Amino acid sequence: MTENEKQLHDAAYQAVVKEGARVEADPYRQVYHRMPPVGLLNDPNGWIQWNGTYHLFFQWNPFAPDHTHKFWGHWTSEDLINWNEEPIALAPSEWFEKNGCYSGSAMELDGKLALLYTGNVKDENNQREAYQCLALSEDGKTFEKKGPLVNSQPEGYTAHFRDPKVWEENGAYYFVIGAQTESEEGQVLLYRSTDFQEWDYIGPFAGSHLNGLGAFGYMWECPDLFKLDGEDVLIVSPQGLEQQGNRFENVYQAGYFTGRADLEAPSFTHGEFRELDEGFEFYAPQTTLDEKGRRLLFGWMGVPDSDEEHQPTTSAGWIHCMTVPRVLRVENGAVVQEPAEELEALRAGEPLEMKVQLAQGAEAAVTPASEIVLETNSASEFSITIRDGLTLTYENGLLTMSRPSFKDGSIETRSTNIASIDELRLFLDSSSAEVFVDGGRTVMTARFFPEPEANIVRISGEGSVIWRSWELA
Ligand code: FRU
- Can you give the pLDDT at residue 258? 98
CATH architecture of the domain 3-339 equals 5 Propeller (2.115)
Residues 122-174 have pLDDT tens digits of 999 999 999 999 999 999 999 999 999 999 999 999 999 999 999 999 999 99
- Can you give the pLDDT at residue 339? 98
Tell whether ligand 1 has an atom less than 6 A from the beta carbon of residue 97. Answer: no
Give the residue from 87, 65, 92 showing the smallest Cα distance to 76: 87
Q: Does domain 350-472 have CATH number 1.10.3720.10?
A: no
Please report the atom of ligand 1 found closest to the CA of residue 283. 7
Give the residue from 289, 341, 329 showing the smallest Cα distance to 80: 341
Rounded to a whole number of angstroms, the distance between the first and last alpha carbons of the chain is 39
3-339 matches 350-472 in fold? no
Please report the atom of ligand 1 found closest to the CA of residue 104. 10
For residue 288, the CA-to-ligand 1 centroid distance in Å is: 18
- Our answer to whether residue 43 is catalytic in this structure is yes
Please report the atom of ligand 1 found closest to the CA of residue 300. 7
Distance CA 443, CA 67 (A): 27
Residues 76-85 have pLDDT tens digits of 999 999 999 9
Tell whether ligand 1 has an atom less than 6 A from the beta carbon of residue 287. Answer: no
- Can you give the pLDDT at residue 296? 99
Q: Where are the domains of the chain?
A: 3-339, 350-472
Counted residue by residue, the chain has a size of 473
For residue 349, the CA-to-ligand 1 centroid distance in Å is: 40
Task: Return the bridge partners of 267, or none.
Answer: 262
Mutate to test the pocket of ligand 1, among 45, 61, 103 (most ligand atoms within 8 A of CB): 103
Give the residue from 150, 301, 148, 283 showing the smallest Cα distance to 219: 283
Task: For residue 90, give the amino acid letter.
Answer: L
- Can you give the pLDDT at residue 291? 98
For residue 239, the CA-to-ligand 1 centroid distance in Å is: 12
Please report the atom of ligand 1 found closest to the CA of residue 222. 9
Nearest CA to ligand 1 atom 9: 221
Nearest CA to ligand 1 atom 8: 221
Task: For residue 107, give Cα distances in angstroms to 40, 115, 134, 164, 223.
Answer: 25, 7, 11, 12, 16
- 38 within 8 A of 60, measured Cβ to Cβ: no
Please report the atom of ligand 1 found closest to the CA of residue 103. 10
| Set 43, 224, 232, 277: catalytic member | 43
- On the question of a cis peptide bond just before residue 266, with omega within 30 degrees of 0, the verdict is yes
Tell whether ligand 1 has an atom less than 6 A from the beta carbon of residue 162. Answer: yes
Q: Which residues, other chains included, contact 178 with Cβ-Cβ below 8 Å and sequence gap of 6+?
A: 160, 161, 162, 163, 186, 188, 219, 220, 221, 222, 223, 236, 237
Tell whether ligand 1 has an atom less than 6 A from the beta carbon of residue 460. Answer: no
Q: Which parts of the chain register pLDDT below 50?
A: none
- Can you give the pLDDT at residue 148? 98
- Can you give the pLDDT at residue 455? 97
- Can you give the pLDDT at residue 472? 98
Task: Return the bridge partners of 331, or none.
Answer: 334
Q: How far is CA 339 from the centre of its chain?
A: 14
For residue 45, the CA-to-ligand 1 centroid distance in Å is: 10
Nearest CA to ligand 1 atom 12: 102
- Can you give the pLDDT at residue 37? 98
